[in-house]
Structure 1
Amino acid sequence: MDRKQTVLLTGGGTLGSVTPLLAIARAWRARDPEVSFIWVGTPDGPEARLVEREGIPFIPFNAPKAPRYLSWRWLTLPFELCRALWHAIRLLFEYQPAWILSAGAYVSVPLVWCAPFAGAKVAIHQLDVPLSLSNRLMLPMADLVTTTWSETAKSIKKPVHVVGSPVYDRGVSVRSREDILMHFDLDPTLGTVLVLGGGTGSVALNAMMESIAMDLAREANVIHVTGKDKRMFVTGHQPGNYRTFGLLEEDLMDALRVADVVVTRAGLGTMGELVLEGKAAIFVPLPHSPQVANARAVSDRSAGYVLEERTWTRELLLETIRKALEPHKRHELEERMAHLFPVKGVAETVVELVLAKEARGGKDVLKRLQ
C-alpha cells in the first residue's frame, strides 16, 4: 500500500472512541477520495459493524487491558503485552500507514507504541475532560494532540489544539414531528422525554425512571432506550405514554429529533450529538468515571442539569424533568447546549491539522479555520 495514502484508525470496546474517528474519516475522504483507511479494533466490541458500514476494512486486535484492582491478571500482563506489541509491529509493517489516529482506547496503545519503528506519525484526540489512561500512555509518541475541552489542555505538557469534538453524523430525520410521534404511538399534545443509558444501558437509571414512570407518563411522552437485554416493568404495568426499547438504531435520530428533554449519562459521544442538535439535557454521570468531570464542565457552563447517583431521589429526578420541560427553561438550556463546545467543522479541522504535519503549520491552519 502507498504510505502517503494509508491511515490506520484504531479504537473500540465502546463506541465513544469510535464515532469521532469515523467523523474524521468522512471529512478526510471528502477532501481526498484517494485516501485509504484500515481500522484496528477489539475482537468482540460493538465497533466492527459500524466501521464496515463505512466501507473501512476492520482488523480485530487483542490488546491487554490492565486491571485497575488487585488481580492475577497482573502476572500474565507482561506476556500479553509482548504478544500484542509483536502483532502490532507486524500489522504496521504490512500496511505501512502514514498516520495512526486514536481517540483514546486501550486497543490503540500497542500500535501507537510501535509507530516510531514503522515510521508512522501519531495523532490522538482526548474526548473527556480528564486525560484517559490510554492517552496518557500514548502521549509521548503523539505528533499531534487535540482535545475537546480547554480544561484538558492545561494538564498536557506538549503543544495541544483545543478543537471541540468531531461528531459522527448519523443522518437527518426526514419525517415530521407528527409522523415520528405517530410512529412511536405517542401523544402529540405532550412534551417528549428521551432517556439514554449509554451503549450498554444503565441499571440504576432504568430503576429510577421506572420509579417515576407512572407520574411522568401523565405529563409527558417517554422514549426510553434501556440497553440490550435490560428489561423494565417486569412485575408492573407499563404506562400508556411510556415506550421502552433495548436498542434504537434506525429510529434513534427520529427519537432525538422529537425529544424536548434528554436524560442521559455524560459520555462524550452522546454529549456531542446533544450539542449538535441543541437539546435540553439532564446528565446523570457514571460514578467514579471521567463522566463526572464532563458533567461538572456542563454544570459550570450552566448548559444542563446534573444529578449524581449518590444524592438523587425519585422526587428530585421528577422535579428536574418538569423544570427542563418548561418552555422558557428548555429554550435557555437548548441555546447553552448548542454552544457547549465546537462540533461543526471539527473533523475537518483535525484533518487539516494532521495534513499540516508540522506543529507550527498546524497552529496556522487552526487560526485560519477559527
Structure 2
Amino acid sequence: MRRPLSVVLAGGGTAGHIEPMLALGDAIRRRDPDLRITCLGTERGMETRLVPARGYDLRLIPPVPLPRKPTADLLRVPDRVRRAVAATRAVLHEVSADVVVGFGGYVALPAYLAARRAGIPIVVHEQNALPGLANRIGARLAARVAVTAPGTPLHRGEHVGMPLRTAIGSLDRASRRVEARGEFGLDADRPTLLVFGGSQGAQTLNRAAVAAADTLTAAGVQVLHARGPKNTHVTVPARPAGSAPYVLVDYLERMDLAYAAADLALCRSGAVTVAELSAVGLPAAFVPLPIGNGEQRRNALPVVEAGGGLLVEDADLDAGWITDHLVPLLTDPDALAGYARHAAAAGIPDADDRLAGIVLDVAARAGTSR
C-alpha cells in the first residue's frame, strides 16, 4: 500500500500569509483526511499561536528576512539562507514531503530552495497584487503558480483567488443578517456601515468615522465600528433613544457575522480583506495603507474597477468624504444592491478548493513519476 501523501505548507510571519495557508490545509483535509500536512514557520511569527490552535503540525526553521534596500544586513543573507535551507531539507526528509506549497514571506524562500534541491515539486500562491521577492523567485522554480488578483505580474500565474476560511467562503449574508445584527445590538432593518482597520484598528478610519457619527446616525445609518483593542480612547456619545445605533467594539471575533450584519464596509485593503469582502459580496470603501509599495491600492483596484467598491486615499478620508460619498450610497438600497452584485462577481469563494485541487494534482503527478 502506498503511504498517504505528505504536503508541506510554508506561510509563516503575518496573518496575511498564515490564514490562506490554514484555509488551504482545511480544504486538503476535507478531500483526504489521511493526508499528512506539515506547516513551516519561525519562532518570531504569529504561526506559533495560530497553527497549533488549528490542529496542524508546526516545524520551526530560521527566518530569512530580505532587506528592501542595500544595507550591511544584506551581507548576512547568504549565510542565513544556507542555515534555513539545511533546516528545511531536514524537515522535508523527515516527513517524506511530496509537495511544498509556499505563500511568500520569511519562510517561503528557504522552503523553495530546499524543495528544489530535494527534487520535490513546488506550488506557489501569491496573495498580493504586487508579488514579493520570495514568490518571484519561487515562481521560477514551481510546477504551478496561483495568484489572488487577475493581472498579478508573476511568472505563469493562474488566477485562482484567495483561500478563505469556510465560515467566510460559505457565508450567506442575507440569511444571517437578522441574527448577525441582533448579535451586535443593531436594528434589524437599518442600513449598516461596518468600520474596521484590521486587528489593531486604524487611526485614520477611527477619526473619520467618529467625526461623521452624528451625520450617519441622523440619516438613519447604523454603524458597527471595530476601533482596535489599544484604541479605547476612541468613543462616541450615546445616541438618543430611537435613533440609529453606533456600536463600538475593540475587536471582532466573528468577522462572518460582522460581514452578514453590514451593507457596506469602510476598511483598509489588505489582500485577505479584499478577498473576503468580494467573496461574500459586501461592497466597501477601501482606504489603502499610505505606506509600503502601494500593494494595498493594487489589491483593491480589481474590485473597484468591477463596480464593487470605492477607493479613497488615506489623506482624503474625513467626515466630509463620508458625508458626501457613503451616506448617499447607504441610503439608496438600489445602488447598494448594485455594488453588492458587482463585488460578488469579482469574488472567488471556493479558491481554497481550487488551490487544493492544484496541490493534490501536482503531488499525485510527482508520485507517479518517481
What's the TM-score, normalizing by structure 2?
Answer: 0.85
1:368 is matched with none
SS at match of 1:310: helix
Displacement of 1:295 after TM fit?
Answer: 1.9
- Secondary structure of the 2:111 match is helix
Do 1:15 and 1:199's aligned partners in 2 also have CA atoms closer than 8 Å? Answer: no
Distance apart, 1:279 and its partner CA: 1.0
Q: Which runs of 5+ in 1 are unaligned?
A: 363-370
The worse-fitting range, judged by mean Cα deviation, of 327-336 and 193-202 is 193-202
Query: For each residue in 1:191-212, what CA deviation from the matched residue of structure 2 results, as whole angstroms up to 9, or x when unmatched?
Result: 2111121243322222222222
Q: Distance in 2 between matches of 1:207 and 1:56?
A: 39
Structure 1 pair 201–47 and aligned structure 2 pair: CA distance change class (3 A):
farther
Q: Deviations 1:73-108 (Å, cap 9, x if unpaired)?
A: 334434333332232222222223111112222221
* CA contact 2:302–2:346 (8 Å) conserved in 1: no
Contact 1:213 1:239 in 2 (8 A): no
Give matches, 1:148-163, under 5 Å.
Answer: 148-152=148-152, 155-157=153-155, 159-163=156-160
1:135 CA displacement:
0.8
1:315 Cα deviation after fit: 0.7
Query: C-alpha separation between the residues in 2 aligned to 1:238 and 1:77?
Result: 54
In the other structure, the counterpart of 1:101 is 101
1:254-293 CA distance string (max 9 Å, x none): 2211111111111221222212221121111112431111
One-letter identity of the residue aligned with 1:337: A
Kindly indicate whether the alpha-carbon contact (under 8 Å) linking 2:101 and 2:359 is maintained by their aligned counterparts in 1: no
Asked whether 1:257 is paired with 2:264, we answer no
Q: Which residue of 2 aligns with 1:343?
A: 349
User: RMSD over aligned Cα, in angstroms?
Assistant: 2.8
* 1:282 and 2:285 are equivalent in the alignment: yes
Matched-pair contact (CA < 8 Å) for 2:128–2:149: yes
TM-score normalized with structure 1 length: 0.85
Q: How many Å separate the matches in 1 of 2:272 and 2:181?
A: 25
- For the Cα contact (< 8 Å) 1:99–1:123, is it kept in 2? yes
Which residue of 330, 333, 339 corresponds with 2:336?
A: 330
Change (3 A) 1:137 1:323: farther
Deviates more, 1:326-335 or 1:92-101: 92-101
Deviations 1:207-256 (A, max 9, x none): 2222223332333222122234233426x74657222233222x322221
What secondary structure is seen at the aligned counterpart in 2 of 1:18? Answer: helix
Q: C-alpha deviations, 1:16-47, integer Å up to 9, x for none?
A: 22222222222222222210101112324333
* 1:165 counterpart SS class: coil
Q: Percent identity?
A: 27
Q: Does 1:243 align with 2:250?
A: no
> What's the secondary structure of 1:21's corresponding residue?
helix
Matches of 1:213 and 1:42, distance apart in 2: 42
- Aligned-pair distance for 1:69? 4.2
SS at match of 1:8: strand
Secondary structure, aligned partner of 1:101 = strand
What is the aligned partner in structure 2 of residue 271 from structure 1? 274
Cα 1:133–1:320 change in 2 (3 A) is: farther
- Counterpart CA distance in 1 for 2:362 and 2:176 is 44
Matches within 5 A, 1:163-174: 163-170=160-167
Aligned CA distance change for structure 1 residues 5 and 83 (closer, same or farther; 3 Å): same
State whether residues 121 and 363 of structure 2, in contact with CA within 8 Å, keep that contact through their aligned partners in structure 1: no
Distance 1:278 1:296 in 2: 16
SS of 1:357's equivalent in the other structure is helix
Paired residues, what number? 354
Instruction: Report 1:134-213 matches (<5 A).
Output: 134-152=134-152, 155-157=153-155, 159-170=156-167, 177-213=177-213
8 A Cα contact 1:3 1:96, kept in partner: no
* Inter-CA distance 140–180: structure 2 relative to 1 (3 Å threshold): closer
Letter of the structure 2 residue corresponding to residue 156 of structure 1: L
Task: Give the secondary-structure state (helix, strand or coil) at the position aligned to 2:107.
Answer: helix
Match of 1:16 in 2: 16
Cross-structure match for 2:232: 231
Measure the CA separation in 1 of the matches of 2:335 and 2:35: 46
Q: Secondary structure at the match of 2:40?
A: strand
SS of 2:315 mapped into structure 1: coil
- Say which is worse superposed, 28-37 or 181-190, in terms of deviation: 181-190
Match of 2:314 in 1: 309
1:7-156 alignment, distance < 5 Å: 7-69=7-69, 71-152=71-152, 155-156=153-154
Q: Aligned equivalents of 1:323 and 1:341: distance in 2?
A: 25
Counterpart AA for 2:21: L
Cα distance in structure 2, aligned partners of 1:225 and 1:45 = 24
Mapped contact 1:260–1:279 kept (Cα < 8 A): yes
SS at match of 2:284: strand
